[in-house]
Amino acid sequence: MAKQKYLECGKAVSTHGVRGTLRLESWCDTPDTLARLRTLYRKDAAGEFVPMRVRAASVQKSMVLVSFEALTSLEEAIPYKGTVFFADRNDIRTKKGDVFVADLLGLSVTDAETGEKYGTLSEVISPGGRDVYVVDDVRGGQFMIPAVSEFVKEIVTEGEREGIYVSLIEGMRE
């Protein structure tokens, strides 16, 4: 599966002040991750990614205040409310073993021991700070797997063995 170059990282939910600052809802692991980015991208009407240089960014509670070089007034910022912003995956600092959610979606979910295919990962939710994988079951319906080492044994995002390898307990697919 080809990896996306640009990843959704947040959405402008409002303006802040009169100097063109936007308040972004962070879709990153932490708001700090979003605040460290120096360039964000938006899609234009043709679907092309347009870079926007960040002048300054700071975290305010769970939101990120971003000032772009191109926006200097409230009037210039207002049209960006509702805009989804993207980050170049190469601009995001990661540690060994980190995986982007975008790289997980669509992966097959397979029993680590037997090789039985359970389904396909359709969504990752974080209801209480811990990720939960939502799997479209090959038998129909969906089931959930907490994204912890007790259940998720291995994640392979490239190559022939691409997939999520799990060890489920009885009743987990019900």
Domain that holds residue 55: 6-91
Are the C-beta atoms of 22 and 71 separated by less than 8 Å?
yes
Cα dist from 86 to 4, 24, 74, 94, 118, whole Å: 11, 12, 22, 16, 32
The verdict on residue 128 lying in a domain is yes
Kindly indicate the confidence band of residue 1, based on its pLDDT and cuts at 50, 70 and 90.
low
Q: What is the CATH number of the domain that holds 69?
A: 2.40.30.60
What are the DSSP calls for 32-82, one per residue? HHHHT-SEEEEE-TTS-EEEEEEEEEEEETTEEEEEETT--SHHHHGGGTT
| Domain endpoint, select from 65, 91, 117 | 91
The verdict on residue 121 lying in a domain is yes
For the chain, how many structural domains are there in total? 2
Could you read off the pLDDT of 15-59 as tens digits, one per residue? 999 999 999 999 998 899 999 999 999 999 999 999 999 999 999
The verdict on residue 34 lying in a domain is yes
Q: Which residue has the tokens 């509670």?
A: 61
Exposure letters 53-64 (e unless 16+ CB within 10 A, then b): ebbebebeeebb
Kindly indicate the confidence band of residue 98, based on its pLDDT and cuts at 50, 70 and 90.
confident
Could you read off the pLDDT of 145-155 as tens digits, one per residue? 999 999 999 99
| Domain endpoint, select from 91, 124, 146 | 91
pLDDT at 34: 96
The pTM assigned to this predicted structure is 0.84
**Which tokens in the block code for residue 2?**
């080809």
**Which tokens in the block code for residue 81?**
């409310």
Residue 13: is its pLDDT beyond 70?
Answer: yes
